[in-house]
Structure 1
């Protein structure tokens, strides 16, 4: 018999973007360990296969691997159809895919790079909501988790496109959260703050990653937020505060 306390997500179907590395990979591993079937999405087939190997080594069910680029809108639509045909529902979305796009004065930022940053960090969120909302409504307790950044609230020099894309994402997600408040869907926004990811290394190449939290540390928070018995707070959950126990009451 499965211990529901050790497998709180047994029988749940979870889609994770950016699953080949960093926060997305950590989220996928944590969700699988908690019993969910993971639909792992990322650009790199090899990274997804390594994730699947690690899930199986840990005793989890093998993941469904979907290599695609978040800028491919038609791929997101096809994925929605495929999920419907196989499972008829979707219980969890963890959208960890994203890009920094480089740091530059706004007036010098390349037009094509601007479009790509917006496509990956903002437009893909709209496309996911559009494709997956009907599937989430088929779940008895759907959860959708999105990652923001300090730059969204406190933009600073050279971070303009990334900050704008994250601020736009937050506004879009919160609007959607209000729209689905009377359904089974609940939406959460997480600020991972400083964490040893490839994007962080791109932004701060001289920083020592050994002094930063490892992405694996965010796994328990993800599981806590998406568990059927929990109602995620409407406020942004800051990982640093959660780790210190400051937001525990809000997560009950």
Structure 2
């Protein structure tokens, strides 16, 4: 099997694929959106900040890639009707969904459980676990309309190496990986739909800065240097691979 870290995609490997990327206004989500668009994908940019999404939109169009769509939604506040309207709009516009990348997330509060803020804990679990579950559930009919659909969850280095004082973030990532594996097994009757996770590793992002404020950021790779595994799982070269977690570095 191809090592996703060394994957070298063809220029048109994602031609005409409809790809929804959550958390696409910056960091890894933005980097993957730009790269996937350059390889022919029709990107749906999700995020909370419309201004930042418009900036990514301009970068994609300015690079000559297919014109993306913007999907503003705050997962922390969204209710069932918001998801239903979103899926209805996607179905009307595209009729299918070829890939769904769950990139949006929040670090939350890093504190001992004894002193954890319950409201912050619940918000973190909701954004990192409940929202991807709801979005996946709502988008599955659209994904099943595609010939070669892919769902990608975001894992973390804290999953295999649990440690103290990570608050809700650590159990939320355990839950995310468990959700991925459960869904992969549930979709065995629909083998065209593959479900996997990617662990980005240490990357120069705002979330990394929140987690390690004293770290020398100059030692960290930029987000655009780790996009190859994302392109691999978004495209046809990963067909048949499901229920796996891959490292980006």
State which drifts further: 174-183 or 197-206.
174-183
1:144 equivalent to 2:151? Answer: yes
- 1:157 maps to 164
1:133 equivalent to 2:122? Answer: no
- 1:90 maps to 97
CA distance in 1: counterparts of 2:65 and 2:145, whole angstroms: 25
1:79-118 mapped onto 2 (5 Å cutoff): 79-118=86-125
- 1:243 maps to none
Match of 2:212 among 198, 204, 207: 204
Q: Say which structure, 1 or 2, has more relative contact order (CA 8 Å, 6+ apart).
A: 2
Runs of 4+ displaced beyond 3 Å: none
Match of 2:13 among 8, 33, 36: 8
1:1-252 mapped onto 2 (5 Å cutoff): 5-71=10-76, 72-74=78-80, 75-183=82-190, 184-231=192-239, 232=241, 234-240=243-249
Alpha carbons 1:196, 1:214 under 8 Å: kept: yes
Alpha carbons 1:102, 1:203 under 8 Å: kept: no
Secondary structure at 1:35's aligned position in 2? coil
Alpha carbons 1:190, 1:238 under 8 Å: kept: yes
Where structure 1 has 5 or more consecutive residues not aligned to the other structure, the ranges are 241-252
- TM-score, normalised with respect to structure 1: 0.90
Superposed CA RMSD: 1.4
Q: Quote the offset at 1:76 in angstroms.
A: 2.5
CA distance in 2: counterparts of 1:160 and 1:139, whole angstroms: 38
Alpha carbons 2:121, 2:167 under 8 Å: kept: no
Provide the aligned length of Structure 1 versus Structure 2. 237
CA distance in 1: counterparts of 2:57 and 2:232, whole angstroms: 22
Alpha carbons 2:144, 2:193 under 8 Å: kept: yes
Q: Quote the offset at 1:220 in angstroms.
A: 2.1
Q: Quote the offset at 1:17 in angstroms.
A: 0.3
TM-aligned CA distance change 1:153 to 1:173, over 3 Å: same
- TM-score, normalised with respect to structure 2: 0.91
Alpha carbons 2:108, 2:120 under 8 Å: kept: yes
Secondary structure at 1:40's aligned position in 2? strand
CA distance in 2: counterparts of 1:148 and 1:66, whole angstroms: 23
CA distance in 1: counterparts of 2:178 and 2:230, whole angstroms: 21
Where structure 2 has 5 or more consecutive residues not aligned to the other structure, the ranges are 1-8
